Chains A and B, each alone.
Chain A
């Protein structure tokens, strides 16, 4: 089966003279949740920007749903929903109007009566805030709105950048529950986060980035092996520490 997200030999960054990403390759298949982890400045956000098509690769290719951005822009873009690290909302729209806008943009036809939106408002405890303007929401609530919008679109691929920042415990729980659910239904998820215990508990595979390169990827066992921790257990956090700090020490 073709992967939903396919990144091959990608080199990129803001300036051709100083690439941030160095020949990275990975993929995410349907029904799979992949954790993208790395220190600040490791290149996670740059990788995500390349996938979104906000940055152009210097070499290599990025395919979503089997097409590159230039090949079929509409198919490429309708294949994923994105939750940015910092919530980016329209100040002039209310919570429910954001859901309506997303429904229109992603052509969510069965949201005509707003039922899917209702369920999301309920699940993320945002029903009392449905008519609040984005500018009047707390940071965590804004993040919830971002997540709800992504979930409303029900795309084949979710790209989620640091989703837990500012979320309350119930919000984190709702998000993880929903991610498990969409994954079971066959969606692919690429999630970047620093909360390694959560990443370890929920993701099927991991991509460890360091200085713009992938230093390890695969299942927990494979990452451990790459970190030089042979088959005797240990957490993702230990493996990660060895990979990024041990490698430099």
Chain B
């Protein structure tokens, strides 16, 4: 893809001025790293970092039957969360595979924000609109992705940064909750205690017009600018899936170790419900597992997983040398019969089968707050 066709966020000039290495991600020209992926990764684990995640899409669903629309669209139960609460969910097709993985923010039973992946933005919007129209539901699906910028402020000191900018009341926002409140000159911003790093953190949704001022203000607090490279290693340590790597239209949430975002009972069925019920009854054929290398080597996306006899039993979907844990970790789909936690498998690295341990996800869990 030529750079001429790539989208840019409102912060593009800031990234270039800061000397960031820019890459194509999901159709956007985004910062891969500034000072370096390891430094940035450790800044988020130990203090606080800030990410431009304005490439993420924002789709609003509003109207009398908005709640019914969400119940039709996503695997998690939008009736079970309260106003001001968020939830992680799958947007599935009829076959049970992921159209996308999303975060749903509930303002009220008649107003929801669905945060979607950049690369899936167009597809998701058309899908949601078609489903709502097909069911004849009384609500509007609006793609506002071009109007919103999003900054993720992540790390044990994230609350201090956000409190400096938005006031002490943000400390009362619980995990996976949010508040509609002013941020700088944006009267209708959203401060959410969500993230994709495994740390405490916030995602600030603001209009494009205040993005640069907010970015500058966050950097003045000492937060370290962070790129997509460390976002990927942080989420992998935290055992979180990346759409296009670990989940896609071919894999269901039951396979992806995401049964906890699937509510099959006591709610109206979502699209893909029947497929998941059938998959559960038949037995899930493969499971997403954590792998830790025993032999010296790094498992990477696409590498084959074998049993001790050399039979193919799965494939690696993400893998790296984890900067904080300082060991080679990976996620892989493994045939159910070989997916037992604690078992040993082989990852084929440059033709050599190297030993790895099947481990429970996540690899990293942040220490409980002591304050």
A binds B: no
